[in-house]
């Protein structure tokens, strides 16, 4: 069994209020193949995500956030 995981940081729209950021964090955490998702304690507009790249791509995670009307852009860790 291959246990590879990948980490990515996703920058979220800096105009989003805290409650909306928390909701997005919870939404991403429930996505299939996502192992963990948490807002950075240093910058709450950065969402740190650990996921199984065999089940979902970083592009797909960003696409799903954008489909919710959120400006999101990914950068690697």
Please check whether residue 19 lies inside any domain of the structure. Answer: yes
- How far apart are the C-alpha atoms of 70 and 55, rounded to whole Å? 22
- Structure-token pair, residue 30: 């429930």
Please check whether residue 1 lies inside any domain of the structure. Answer: no
Please check whether residue 70 lies inside any domain of the structure. Answer: yes
Crossing angle for the helix pair 58-67 and 18-29, to the nearest 10 degrees: 130
Please check whether residue 66 lies inside any domain of the structure. Answer: yes
Q: Is the pLDDT of residue 1 over 60?
A: no
Which residue range is the domain that position 47 belongs to? 6-76
Confidence of residue 2 (pLDDT cuts 50, 70, 90): low
Overall number of domains in the chain:
1
CATH of residue 14: 3.30.70.100
Please check whether residue 21 lies inside any domain of the structure. Answer: yes
Please check whether residue 34 lies inside any domain of the structure. Answer: yes
- How far apart are the C-alpha atoms of 62 and 28, rounded to whole Å? 10
pLDDT tens string 12-62:
998 899 999 999 999 999 999 999 999 999 999 999 999 999 999 999 999
């Amino acid at each position: 069994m291959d246990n590879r995981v990948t980490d990515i940081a996703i920058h979220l729209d800096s105009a989003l209020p805290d409650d909306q950021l928390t909701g997005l964090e919870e939404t991403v955490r429930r996505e299939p193949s996502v192992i963990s998702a948490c807002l950075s304690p240093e910058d709450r507009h950065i969402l740190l995500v650990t996921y199984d790249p065999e089940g979902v791509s970083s592009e797909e995670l960003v696409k799903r956030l954008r489909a919710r009307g959120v400006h999101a852009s990914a950068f690697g860790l």
